[in-house]
Amino acid sequence: MLRCCQPPAERAAAPPWMPLLSALLELAGGRAELLRHSERRWASVTFSGTRHTVLLAFCGPDSVTAGEIFIDALPEHEFTIPRQLVADAAVVKVEHTMLPELRMEVEVQLLLLDEA
């Protein structure tokens, strides 16, 4: 028996970490390398969401300069992430290395709240 074609199931929305990482890398001017990302659920009495920790590396003088701009811009940046509100974005750690090449690692934490 032949069945009529059924419309494909709606695709599930991308998890919030995908557009978040894209936005962070864009804010870094395309000069950062993603080293690590972790995500854990977060909730309070009135809100729920996720806390993200991201480690980025900026290698070479031009990239380190872009990293310094990233550090300055992150706390006030207006993120646009579907169905999410970035409630907090903070730089929690910065490490500089001079040899064998100029390198800066930046660890950031972001709190994303689920929009109702």
Q: What is the pLDDT of residues 13-65, one digit of tens each?
A: 667 899 999 999 999 999 999 999 999 999 999 999 999 999 999 999 999 99
Torsion of CA 86, 109, 73, 62, to 10 degrees: -140
pTM: 0.85
10 has a pLDDT exceeding 50: no
Peptide bond preceding 15: is omega within 30 degrees of 0, i.e. cis? no
Backbone dihedral angles phi then psi of residue 114, each to the nearest 5 degrees: -70, 130
Q: Which residues pair with 50 in a beta bridge?
A: 41, 112
Whole-angstrom distance, CA of residue 104 vs CA of residue 14: 30
Domain ranges across the chain: 17-114
With CA atoms as reference, report the closest residue to 37 among 29, 48, 25, 49: 25
Q: Which fold has domain 17-114?
A: STM4215-like (3.30.2000)
Query: With b meaning 16 or more CB within 10 Å and e meaning fewer, what string describes 30-58?
Result: ebbeeeeeebeebeeeeeebbebebbbbb
CB 107 within 8 A of CB 54: yes
3 has a pLDDT exceeding 70: no
- pLDDT value of position 6: 47
